[in-house]
Structure 1
Amino acid sequence: MILRTKDRDLDGSVGRQLRRLRRILLEHDLRIEEQGAPSAEWLLNEFKGVVDQYQAGTLIDDIGTVLQYGDGVALITGMYGAHLNEVVKFQNGSYGMVLNLETDQVGAIVFGEGLDIHSGDAVRLLGRTIDVPVGEELIGRVVNPLGEPIDGLGPIHTTKRRPVEAPAPGIAERSPVDTPLQTGIKVIDALIPIGRGQRELIIGDRQTGKTALAIDTILNQKETGVLCVYVAIGQKAATVAQVIETLKEHGAMDYTIVVVASAADTAPVQYLAPYSGCAMAEEFMYQGKDVLIVYDDLSKHAVAYRAMSLLLRRPPGREAYPGDIFYLHARLLERAARLSPEHKGGSLTALPIVETLEGDISAYIPTNIISITDGQIFLDTDLFLAGFRPAVNVGLSVSRVGGDAQIPAMKKLAGPLRLQLAQYRELTSFTQFGAELDQATRDQLAKGERIAAVLKQPRFSPIPVAEQVVTFYMLVNGYFDDMPVERIPWFEAEVHRRIRQNHPDLFAEITTTGHYQEVEDRLRSTLQEIKTELASTKPQAETD
């Protein structure tokens, strides 16, 4: 029997009890990992124990009525027992989430199109917060923010779920960030290092290579054991498809989950995307694994939240954003952490991306997220247009973890480079007026040109840290000083190739120990030998 009043459902039907029992069975921890391959008899006994302990529970459901619906937001009356972030189910089968609690009505966002939701429709409270499927079954898949596959590769069979909103690890649960997360990008690993468990903002104007920087970092995690989650928020579907294709080409989908809320999706779906991706990543972190998550990008996430908030009739503040926009991103990014050994020692490293307008990093959303993160990598439009790529402005970029997130060899070699590069940039802008220069200034400019040439790097070609150490060793010890600047990239690539081919133990030693001093004599003689051999050789491009 089901008895319905204006705002309550008294549901004593068998169907309700079966649905409730099914949910309890799905959520039951079977500990299958400990059993190996469980027998049918063992599974049957487990389920029988759950059924024997089953209590029918309350028969009363809260039922609301849609007062108004539009643009993915529903105002509902009569739902007096609603809680924040509680899941609701609409009469047409769509799901939503409670986001506003008022005296006489509730505001809920709807996931999906919601085209056939109308005023007067019934809405049921489901008594649980929103969650998503998690687990290794998602690795290599492309899913929407509800965890449903959208890559055409069939259903995802996982029984584990996590709430999309979860408290960040406390101070006592964390360890200091002191293990490098190598990006494979020379300018970052040398000057703005990122550690496992850090939150490093990538910020810059449109079309300055922000996504390329994040994708390079994902590609560089191959064979390192670091799992990756890429969350696309408000991107064009074609752009996301190109990113996925790049990940497939380089074999990165083997350790990556892609969560997509494209520009065609509604604001509530875009709002949910980073929290869903974070929940999927946290599952691995709490298992003791290292995870990298990219939010691309949070400025579009803020715009989606602003649209929802205005529809929910929340008062607008600065630049029409609601007052809790800071809390929106703080509670997301604070979940990135490096856990202590007592909590299995996993880590979650966050790379949020924010788009600026005309390089204005003092706008509302950029300043909010800069104050939450542990540093930022600022991509400069002028540098990008001048052909310096990745277009990292080392003057405005900073990592608050610094040398703690570098191997000792890199820390020793790259120390003075930031200052020298910043001085070179200042001198370049000064000398464009045609002033006569003394010899010391000319030497400084020549050194800066070589540093800039070494730090240039093409897209989708991350460099292992041992090769980077050899490159910076050559830079610091003057191997490039008597060489034309345009010849440096070829010479560097040729040195790496010959050492890989003839002296692979040099790279292995640097990678294993983090130092180069033990092999410095062999490294010096090898480099001198290669330089002598290559002195009379022209790059292939010049020969052609």
Structure 2
Amino acid sequence: MSDLKYSEISSILKEELSNFQFESKLSEYGIIVQIGDGIVRSFGLNSAFYGELVEFHTGIKGIVFNLEEDHVSIVLLHPSKDIKEGDQVKRTGKVLSIKVGEGMLGRVIDILGNPIDGKGPIEGKLFEMPLERKAPGVIYREPVKESLYTGIKFIDSMIPIGRGQRELIIGDRQTGKTTIAIDTIINQKKFFEENNPVYCIYVAISQKGSTIARITQILQEKGALPYTTIVAAKSSEPASIQVYAPFSGTSIGEYFRDTGRSSLVIYDDLSKQAVSYREISLLLRRPPGREAYPGDIFYLHSRLLERASKIIKDQNMAEKMNDLPVSIKKEVKGGGSLTAIPIIETQSGDISSYIPTNVISITDGQIFLEKDLFHSGIRPAINESISVSRVGGAAQISSMRKISGTLKLDQAQFRELESFSKFGSELDPSTMEILKKGKINIEILKQPAHSPYDIADQIAIIYVGTKNLIKDVPIDKISSFEKEYLFYLREKHENLLISLRNGILDDKISEILDKIALKLSRKYIL
């Protein structure tokens, strides 16, 4: 049978099934004519639509991916061992959807919302949300201006992320991309405790089960699991699961956004999703384009990331969202946000290849991690000259904006002079000053994994660096100075830290910070 053309198969089947009664059934049912590599080709299903969920006699589900003249191609969501040629497949009339609700927090689920963490069924009220939804239109969005604090000094000072933004983390493997994402989730703990939560969704795409278990354990230990949902698409699962996992995570995030709350979704990582989509496309015999990816790979990522947004507060928001099920419309409030942090893996730092350039052009900025910086001990290994946030200062509190305004420029100047200083032996005093200040700032911006900083602590220590108050402290003593300085502020000047947290940095506060820094730095100067 496999030697025949599809057109021949359909004509033979039509001849054999000329019975009118069954002909009418062909619009709802199909017969499998070929199966392999997670792809099923079926004759019939004449009324099926693209993206429709279909069901096989064994209960296994698939998605209609190609609509061709004589047959439809279906991508399976489960292994195909119990399906064979000649079996029947039927339409469901539904699109792929996931049940969402508060009960998903603290759980590890698959892409259909089924729990896989052994803690029993998901409790509470659940609503059905489609995996694919149209992104909110411009008139339903409002400017991104509220900070999403990551707790990472490098990012919150120079590459700020706002609630509703899309910020890409990009870099080679083993440079700390996932660590930044996990630290951002951990940093939301205090907001959860203060009743201003950012609900987090971590989507693990094509990762080992052991890696997902380790991340779950870190979040559990740090107290971050109660406001986090982990969507797991393991590397052992079919390619279709990897492709749809980010859409599941987005639908959960949209539930929190549409009910008037803030959410954060992390896709780790979209380059693996692109590889899975390429695999399916090539098996479906779609024409390959650049780097063998199909032409619609850009659309795959754009329709996913465009859904991140800050929604306006509107009493009639529920009526305007026509694509939402009736059951959830009573809960819709508006005024929420969905922030997206996609991760992309590069090969040897090449950000000019197809998938990196695609995702860079869709997102509102990128955090670029470099292997050389990582190996030289600068962690997080962020290259601040290539990294950018297109929302920028709009998503920063005024006290941070005041002290970090010159920081990025100072560090860019330092990087340039540092590369030149390797070749020159004689350096003038002003160049030496810039180099010394740059090295001190880098030391201040370093921080260990899973130890996010409060925003007030970040402002206090970055202030010391930008004002050059510790220029005489040896580089290897800066870490010790920082610990003592922040401990002193917490013990003796709690009100000052509250002011910084509220965006206040006036002359009086600056004077106090100057005195404390100069007083404590004396004992570290040789």
TM-score when normalising by structure 2 = 0.89
3-state SS of paired residue (1:376): strand
Unaligned runs of 5+ in 1: 10-59, 539-544
Name the CA shift for 1:141/1:308 in 2 (closer, same or farther; >3 Å). same
Higher deviation after alignment, 501-510 or 159-168: 501-510
Aligned to 2:83: 117
Letter of the 1:97 partner, please give it. I
Q: 1:405 aligns with which of 395, 399, 403?
A: 395
Aligned to 1:488: 478
Query: CA deviation digits over 1:400-459, x for unaligned, max 9?
Result: 111101111111100111111112112222122242111111111101111111111111
Q: 1:417 aligns with which of 407, 417, 420?
A: 407
| Pair 1:88-2:60 in alignment | no
Measure how far apart 1:523 and its partner are. 5.7
Pairing 1:132-531 to 2, within 5 Å after superposition: 132-157=98-123, 158-224=125-191, 225-342=197-314, 343=317, 344-511=334-501, 513-517=502-506, 520-522=507-509, 524-525=511-512, 528-529=515-516, 531=518
Letter of the 1:143 partner, please give it. I
3-state SS of paired residue (1:341): coil
Contact 1:336 1:347 (C-alpha < 8 Å) held by counterparts: yes
Aligned to 1:31: none
3-state SS of paired residue (2:31): strand
State, as a whole percentage, how many aligned pairs show the same letter: 48
CA-based RMSD of the aligned residues comes to 1.9
- Distance in 2 between residues matched to 1:304 and 1:70, nearest whole Å: 16
Aligned to 1:37: none
Query: CA deviation digits over 1:441-479, x for unaligned, max 9?
Result: 111110111111111111111101111111122112232
Letter of the 1:107 partner, please give it. S
Contact 2:460 2:513 (C-alpha < 8 Å) held by counterparts: no
Letter of the 1:144 partner, please give it. D
- Distance in 2 between residues matched to 1:102 and 1:80, nearest whole Å: 10
Contact 2:464 2:517 (C-alpha < 8 Å) held by counterparts: no
Contact 1:61 1:124 (C-alpha < 8 Å) held by counterparts: no
| Pair 1:70-2:11 in alignment | no
Contact 1:7 1:79 (C-alpha < 8 Å) held by counterparts: no
TM-score when normalising by structure 1 = 0.86
Name the CA shift for 1:488/1:125 in 2 (closer, same or farther; >3 Å). same
- Distance in 2 between residues matched to 1:153 and 1:61, nearest whole Å: 41
Contact 1:77 1:104 (C-alpha < 8 Å) held by counterparts: yes
Measure how far apart 1:507 and its partner are. 1.5
Measure how far apart 1:252 and its partner are. 0.6
- Distance in 2 between residues matched to 1:198 and 1:5, nearest whole Å: 54
Contact 2:406 2:466 (C-alpha < 8 Å) held by counterparts: no
- Distance in 2 between residues matched to 1:93 and 1:233, nearest whole Å: 25
Name the CA shift for 1:61/1:78 in 2 (closer, same or farther; >3 Å). closer
3-state SS of paired residue (1:147): coil
Measure how far apart 1:242 and its partner are. 1.2
Name the CA shift for 1:5/1:527 in 2 (closer, same or farther; >3 Å). farther
Measure how far apart 1:321 and its partner are. 0.5
3-state SS of paired residue (1:403): helix
Name the CA shift for 1:5/1:492 in 2 (closer, same or farther; >3 Å). farther
Letter of the 2:96 partner, please give it. I
Contact 1:7 1:63 (C-alpha < 8 Å) held by counterparts: no
- Distance in 1 between residues matched to 2:461 and 2:233, nearest whole Å: 40
- Distance in 1 between residues matched to 2:512 and 2:412, nearest whole Å: 32
Letter of the 1:313 partner, please give it. R
